Amino acid sequence: MLKKSIITILSLALSLSSGMVQAVQASQPHVKVSVNGKAVSFPDAKPFINKQNHTIVPVRFVTEHLGYEVAWNAAKQTVNLRKGNQKLYFKIGQYGSEIHDSRTYVPLRYVAEAFGAEVQWNGKNRLATILTEDLITDATGPVTDTNQTDVPSETSKENNHRTDWQSKADDVLALAEKYYGVDYLLGAKTGRTDAFDCSSFTQYVFWKSGIKLKRESRPQFLEDGDKVLTRNELRRGDLVFFSTALTAKKYEKGDYRQNGHVGIVKEVKANGEIVFIHTFKKGIGVTDSKMYADLNKGWWNDHFLYGKRVIADDGSEALDVKVDKSMIAAMTSSS
């Protein structure tokens, strides 16, 4: 009798435990995905975050929404993706791919970035945003050449104890990273921190670390900092400037007016990949992006113009050297 009672209690406990697990799983919000600003519907097999903390999606999503051809080899457990002349091949188990509920799931970021797409993750909303079209159509902040004098009302930080550029770059980037996810707003007022555009963001985080920048992206390039930098000269803390889809078409290469976007270098990797922090699109806000090591891959590589150093080697504000607009083409020919 006692044995039957124990078995009954254990069975009930297991049943309750299973029910609680299912309830917890049901209460967790699904991972959402958008492609070029349009939400993607997953009627049956849904994306999720696996044990390796990778967002993985059913392979059907890749074919229907990203336009890749998919060849699945069940015997070898391999996935072969193709889009035009681009190919990607990997075995299930690599990069977080797996079979789940008899469905083939592939790692979203790995697959998308392999074909040059931009992938952004919003942890708060559990939203993965994939951008395959022009990332920036028009300027992401004021670009006029007026000599703006507006500066944040807050007092700038004096960093006299900083004696090298790495430490000052650490200061700037530590502050910048505190604003991850803060939304993008074109023309955001100087000093505003609940929304930024590209140049108000760079101006604010440098100002708080004792380095004064102009409000607009073109003056930040033309008037702030010292020499123009090619890609190979970039280091942590440098400003990086990009054209937009519109300015790249509207102005000739070497024309300073191609400049329509600015960010801050976070990391220059040993393989040549460059990670930078910036803000450029509503719904994404402050985020990281990358210029791939392969110079022929990715939107940011296609639109990179030049860099500018605003942190001197000793950690002080670099002596401002104005750029001669007529000489930009020659100075940036190797960027």
Mean pLDDT to the nearest integer, 108-126: 89
The reported pLDDT for the residue numbered 37 is 87
Mean pLDDT to the nearest integer, 246-262: 94
- Which neighbouring-strand residues pair with 88? 81
The reported pLDDT for the residue numbered 145 is 58
Q: Is the dihedral of CA 153, 261, 290, 82 positive or negative?
A: positive
Cα 95 from Cα 89, distance rounded (Å): 11
Burial of 154 (0-12, 13-18, 19+ CB in 10 A): exposed
32-131: CATH superfamily: Copper amine oxidase-like, N-terminal domain (3.30.457.10)
Q: Is the dihedral of CA 72, 75, 77, 80 positive or negative?
A: negative
Q: Which of 19-33, 199-213, 244-258 has the lowest mean pLDDT?
A: 19-33
The reported pLDDT for the residue numbered 43 is 85
pLDDT of 118 above 80: yes
The reported pLDDT for the residue numbered 218 is 94
- In the chain, residues under CATH classification 3.90.1720.10 are 165-331
pLDDT of 114 above 80: yes
The reported pLDDT for the residue numbered 274 is 98
pLDDT digits (tens, 9 = 90+) for 9-25: 444 444 444 444 344 33
Cβ neighbours of 335 (radius 10 Å): 16
The reported pLDDT for the residue numbered 7 is 47
Q: Global pTM?
A: 0.84
Mean pLDDT to the nearest integer, 205-233: 93
DSSP assignments along 100-148, one per residue? ETTEEEEEHHHHHHHTT-EEEEETTTTEEEEE-S-S-SS-SS----S--
How would you list the strands of the sheet with 69-73, edge to edge? 69-73, 78-83, 86-91
pLDDT, averaged across the chain: 86
- Which neighbouring-strand residues pair with 73? 78
For strands 103-107 and 55-58, give the pairing: antiparallel
Percent of the chain exceeding pLDDT 70 equals: 84
pLDDT digits (tens, 9 = 90+) for 68-91: 999 999 899 999 999 888 899 999
Pick 134 or 27 by higher pLDDT: 134
The reported pLDDT for the residue numbered 156 is 62
pLDDT digits (tens, 9 = 90+) for 151-210: 676 666 655 455 699 999 999 999 999 999 999 999 999 989 999 999 999 999 999 999
Structural Rg of the chain based on CA atoms: 24
Confidence of residue 144 (pLDDT cuts 50, 70, 90): confident
Sole residue written with tokens 């849904």? 46
List Cβ neighbours of 115 (8 Å cut-off, separation of 6 or more).
66, 68, 81, 83, 86, 88, 132
Chain-centroid distance of CA 154 in Å reads: 28
Residue of 248, 255, 238, 250 lying closest to 301 (CA atoms) = 248
The reported pLDDT for the residue numbered 192 is 93
165-331: CATH superfamily: endopeptidase domain like (from Nostoc punctiforme) (3.90.1720.10)
pLDDT digits (tens, 9 = 90+) for 319-333: 999 898 887 877 765
- In the chain, residues under CATH classification 3.30.457.10 are 32-131
Q: In Å, what is the CA distance from 160 to each residue of 56, 176, 226?
A: 47, 20, 20
Chain-centroid distance of CA 85 in Å reads: 25
Mean pLDDT to the nearest integer, 33-37: 92
Cα 293 from Cα 26, distance rounded (Å): 41
